[in-house]
Chain A
């Protein structure tokens, strides 16, 4: 497409780059939003799921008789019938040698994790469905469970799937550079074993679905609290054996996702299948306790890392073995997520050699999949803990070690040892800005003084780069994705001058209605208020690849921008015709907030965009080769990923008596390229920091040896409240991305990625002089206290 897509400057424009009130908010602050559970349809039935209380068991029989006879119960479905209703659950990623056992939405004869769906009951009310589900009698013969991935790989371990030896689902190697040479040259080898613990996503809106099949036409509309209506639209018709043309997927207001709604779940398939079978709408709303066991978990890696290091703190190479505990079977992207970690393992540093093997292991736990960051936080955690450990072992300053290893600002585009090409960056610039905000030397003095009084203060740093803007379709395909990575946008102007944007992205809190309106208002010279954005309904926005992986701004936003430019070009041609000038002689300009075209050098000879739109619709006087109407559609496939980065610092105080960690300051300098709306960027950073800090200090899934989930509710799984988090100090540098004309990179996950190691580094810094080298997350008071005791007992401390 030969469009003159000029890159946008980094400076804020009239609307773009500025704070505006969000378009989403009026409905959300007045209680008039529409989430899935708010949907009420005539004749609607309610579904409840019977779930396995065992981690591993054979199903010996299911008695549904009593449930079927309960008042209001309309259907009970078990594994026996499920094969007649739908196909097996798809896996959306392929890896060489991947073991992908067939899995149906209901267990057939064996359950493999606590919470696996065994049967569903459909009834006239939620209460009747719950009563019915309770009445289903399932016989189980417990089998030995395996919950430790390292034990699961051993010969003789119980098998989650009989035909998957050693429970190994896949091995994914990634290497670059000469690793042997690196270790030969090394002055020192620094080793770490890190556990990146399992997390539960916990968006505040649980999952939910309403399926409405029309009994006569066979049309199926499915509302789901999902991030991916388009991907569901690609998958569900085949699974339910309905023509794609008769399926419509709607993502209404969605109350957060964080990756866990980037999936196709058993309940979505079952609700659709049962609505088709019964001819009535079927609703299922996840209870929070179900969320803990039946929605994907995140992270869960054990990292064995070894770095070859020179005496002056340069990292010459990294060897790592990553054991990813992926749970009992694959959800949509389960196999993909751990493979993202090695790609980002050289981070912001010029590391010449890398040799990693990822081993994905089945265990009797809930499957893992994408959770905010999805493989990248694991890489950053590993690397930033490693860099701090290198500094500590060499007696160097952690800031200095980072500087010595940084990729320099003049080295971009930079080809990493893992095969990526970083688009742009200035890592030292971000770090310098960070250091301006904290008096580092002053803090070190304060730390010394505090130690004299028995107080434990610590500072931690983290400098990170992440990968966004998923994805160039070709690369995505080569990596194993089952789908492309482009995005589409349509921009149209009505005869009355209102602008409608149709986007293939599917927001769930990010504020796309606001951001996309800003892009269009700026580009076309229309009022922000006059732009509306439609999304999340395949009947309205048929083409798109949805919202995840911080792709929306870089790919979806760019598509919106390009569609606006394309539309403006069409308008320019009509304007030239009306003004009786050549197209090249006509310029676009925004005057008093209004877009208009004028003849070069003769601004008085002009028409407004609104006048052009009117002309395009009356069509009385259009150039021969111009169609009536004012609409443009663009499919944009990026040529590269984008690479946001940043530098964070955290200051903590540890109570030596009870091990409590208090964050005294958290300072974040992030660079996400050009900014569409500073307030929304800041909001994303805040939320990301909260989740990253939560991993460092509070959250963690615990299973016992029998595979029972001990953290099965908000009572035992510690999602932090306002009182558990500090106020964050945020700032940014701006390094535009050359990959897209908006110069944007993405910011959805940055805070999460940068903050986790930063907090842990701070705590270790506070305790290092006592001899504490590492503590696995979450750094609960009891763990911190135990680490202090252990260090004291082994006399590992240095003088303060």
Chain B
């Protein structure tokens, strides 16, 4: 059996295309952390529960510990490292900072990526929608309340920015 035969993958991560020969058993999270050195994506469990490893794959939040790198072949991944643009924080990052949405920070990258996915689907979520939308991410420090606040604040800012852009105004 060709058990250790490696497979070639080509994955665009935060805008850059990467190509590697990988073991089929390599998880996407290990590809990001160990092969690409993007250690902002964390691992908090081995049963696909905690969401610390959440990234966007083709624009949707997934748990990168439960996707093989070979399954992501040809795909496009966004990690926490890809959020800030030109040295400017993403509104979600700003809001987590402003509203104390993190303490130890371990859940934070995954939480922010899930929140981003949520806001992509629900630009104006109520509290219940936010809480349900973050069901796949555990935080042991914050009791979630300030995370909810941060997501609400970011949503408002992103909507305002969008409205301003639509009105032909500036981008902020």
Q: List residues of chain A with CB under 8 Å of any chain B CB.
A: 21-22, 24-35, 37-38, 40, 127, 202-206, 253-256, 258, 285, 287-289, 508-511, 679-680, 682-683, 686-691, 713-715, 719, 721-723, 725, 727-728, 751
Contacts and interface: CB of A to CB of B under 8 A. Distances in A.
B43 interface: yes
B30 to A, nearest CB: 8
Most chain B Cβ neighbours within 10 Å, of A204, A687, A723 = A204
Contacts of A35: 39, 42, 106
B93 A727 contact: no
A287 B52 CA distance: 13
B84 interface: yes
A29 B144 contact: no
Contacts of B107: 204, 255
Nearest to A24: B105
Given A686-B143, A687-B140, A722-B132, 8 more contacts: A29-B102, A33-B40, A33-B105, A127-B23, A127-B25, A204-B42, A714-B50, A721-B131
B153 interface: no
A682 B130 CA distance: 20
23 contacts: A24-B105, A25-B102, A31-B41, A37-B33, A38-B33, A202-B140, A204-B138, A204-B140, A255-B104, A255-B105, A256-B140, A288-B44, A509-B103, A679-B100, A680-B100, A687-B103, A687-B141, A713-B47, A714-B47, A714-B138, A723-B131, A725-B144, A751-B143
Contacts of B39: 31, 34-35, 37-38
Contact of A28 (B79, B81, B108, B140): B108
A204 B134 contact: no
A721 B134 contact: yes
B89 interface: yes
Given A29-B96, A31-B80, A722-B134, A509 B104 contact: yes
B19 interface: no
Contacts of B146: 682-683, 686
Contacts of B97: 21-22, 25-26, 29
Nearest to A691: B140
B134 to A, nearest CB: 5
A30 B50 contact: no
B139 interface: yes
Interface string B101-140: 0111111110010000000000000010011101111111
Nearest to B37: A40
Contacts of B93: 29-30
Nearest to A693: B143
A203 B140 contact: yes
B40 A719 contact: no
Most chain A Cβ neighbours within 10 Å, of B52, B105, B139 = B105
Contact of B143 (A289, A511, A725): A725
B138 A721 contact: yes
A722 B96 contact: no
Interface of B: 23, 25, 33, 37-47, 49-50, 52, 79-81, 83-84, 89, 93, 96-98, 100, 102-109, 112, 127, 130-132, 134-148
Given A22-B100, A256-B104, A29 B142 contact: no
A686 B25 CA distance: 39
Contact of A204 (B106, B127, B131): B106
A314 to B, nearest CB: 36
A688 B140 CA distance: 9
A505 to B, nearest CB: 15
B78 to A, nearest CB: 11
7 smallest beta-carbon distances between A and B, as pairs: A31-B40, A255-B106, A28-B105, A509-B104, A690-B143, A686-B143, A31-B80
A379 to B, nearest CB: 23
B130 A253 contact: no
Given A24-B105, A31-B109, A714-B49, A689 B100 contact: no
Contact of A32 (B23, B33, B40, B103): B40
Contacts of A715: 47, 49
Given A686-B142, A721-B135, A722-B135, A30 B40 contact: yes
Most chain B Cβ neighbours within 10 Å, of A206, A254, A722, A725 = A722
Nearest to A721: B135
A30 B89 contact: yes
A206 B45 CA distance: 8
B41 A289 contact: no
Contacts of B47: 288-289, 713-715
Nearest to A692: B143
